[in-house]
Amino acid sequence: MIVTLTLNSCIHKYVRFTDQDPGARVVRGVRGGYSAGGKGFNAARVAMKLGSRVLAIGPAGGVTGELLRSCVAAEGLPVRLVPVAGWTRMSVCVYEEVAGRFRELLEAGEDLSAAEAQALEAAFLESLAPAECALLSGSSPGSNLDGVFARCAGRARASGKRVVLDSHGAPARRVLASGGAPPHWVRANRTELAATFGAAGRAQLEALARTWIERGATGLVVSDGPGDLLCFSTLGDFCAAPPRIREVNPVGSGDALTGAFVHALGAGAGVAEALALGAAAGAANAEQFEIGAFDARRCAELRAQTRVARLPPQHASGL
């Protein structure tokens, strides 16, 4: 089982319309919908779709928190939602169909109280026992949550779980600066790694990965939008070229990548295959308007179009 922890849950609201009169103040014929969001929820959705057992843990509060509960119940996503006072934030995904224009309007999340942060951490630790993998995903909306991932990563690793971190900013820095062993896998995009650790170029990314590997990590997986994925690890260095698709909504593609990657590892796949499946899932997600709304068959089709190559040692930091 994969247990995911999200510090900053959200509701994805989807708005589709045809802009027949750009000057009109009211746009009619709008279609919409909702789904649960936050990186851990998105990753869990994809891992479940591919065949893993999952449990997604995160906070839920206010009227939007009740909507989050309704969404996960409707899609059958196993969750443990921790009640909080603040309202769950909204992510509004807007798509104009004729021009194919997409935009996400993302609210900032609210920090939890110290007691709420402790309850969220406790919910995760209480759910660890049956899990094979602990996935810590997303950003922190405030200082009371900044250290939760670091404590949870240490406890999960000490319990013999595979620990995967897909985060940036203060929570990621706290995890990777702690004195204990780092997560087994770190997953992030180039922009996040540049902002969090100052590593932007290929050589810097590899050097960053090697410092974590020396402390006990297995590797680092770096995405770059529709560009190639890079993987530096104890099991080899790889580059994956995602398939070409018509992009509709890129939001959540990194989460789909992570969910597919941890699913594949849990199913016994090697790193190259896990990377390929992750690249395919990210592409499949970007083809759809609703996040994670692709099926496993489409992911398999795109996996067949994904190329993975091992990076020879002499080229690993020079390409």
Are the C-beta atoms of residues 265 and 16 closer than 8 Å to each other? Answer: no
Q: What is the CATH number of the domain that holds 249?
A: 3.40.1190.20
DSSP character string of 95-127:
EETTTTEEEEEEPPPPPPPHHHHHHHHHHHHHT
Calculate mean pLDDT across residues 33-52.
97
For 49-104, the pLDDT digits (tens) are 999 999 999 999 999 999 999 999 999 999 999 999 999 999 999 999 998 999 99
DSSP character string of 186-244:
EEEEHHHHHHHH---SHHHHHHHHHHHHHTT--EEEEEBTBS-EEEEETT--EEEEPPP
* Average pLDDT of the chain, as a whole number: 95
- Looking up tokens 């990548």 gives 257
Q: Tell me the sheet residues that pair with 135.
A: 4, 164
For 176-229, the pLDDT digits (tens) are 997 788 999 999 999 999 999 999 888 999 999 999 999 999 999 999 999 999
**Which residues, including other chains, have CB under 8 Å from residue 148's CB and lie 6 or more apart?**
5, 7, 117, 120, 121, 140, 171
Range of the domain at 235: 2-18+31-315
Q: How far apart are CA 272 and CA 309, in angstroms?
A: 8
Q: What per-residue confidence (pLDDT) applies to 313? A: 64
Q: What per-residue confidence (pLDDT) applies to 305? A: 97
For 242-252, the pLDDT digits (tens) are 999 999 999 99
Is residue 97, in this structure, part of any structural domain at all?
A: yes
Res 319 pLDDT > 80: no
Split at pLDDT 50, 70, 90, the class of 21 is confident
Could you tell me the CA-to-CA distances from 202 to 91, 224, 275, 282, 316 in Å, in that order?
32, 12, 18, 21, 9
Task: Determine how many CB atoms are found less than 10 A away from the CB of residue 207.
Answer: 13
Is residue 23, in this structure, part of any structural domain at all?
A: no
Angle at 279 between CA 274 and CA 280, to 5 degrees: 100
Radius of gyration from C-alpha coordinates of the chain: 19
Q: What per-residue confidence (pLDDT) applies to 315? A: 45
Is residue 181, in this structure, part of any structural domain at all?
A: yes
Q: Tell me the sheet residues that pair with 229.
A: 240
- Looking up tokens 């996960």 gives 72
- Helices 271-287 and 253-266 pack at an angle, to 10 degrees, of 150
AA identity, residue 204: Q
Is residue 24, in this structure, part of any structural domain at all?
A: no
Helix ranges, 19-58 (H) = 39-50
- Where b means 16+ CB within 10 Å and e means fewer, 269-291 reads eebbbbbbbbbbbbbbbbbbbbb
AA identity, residue 87: W
Is residue 291, in this structure, part of any structural domain at all?
A: yes
Res 314 pLDDT > 60: no
Is residue 289, in this structure, part of any structural domain at all?
A: yes
What is the domain count for the chain? 1
Res 158 pLDDT > 80: yes
Are the C-beta atoms of residues 27 and 17 closer than 8 Å to each other? Answer: yes
In the numeric block, which tokens belong to residue 116? 């709420």
Is residue 59, in this structure, part of any structural domain at all?
A: yes
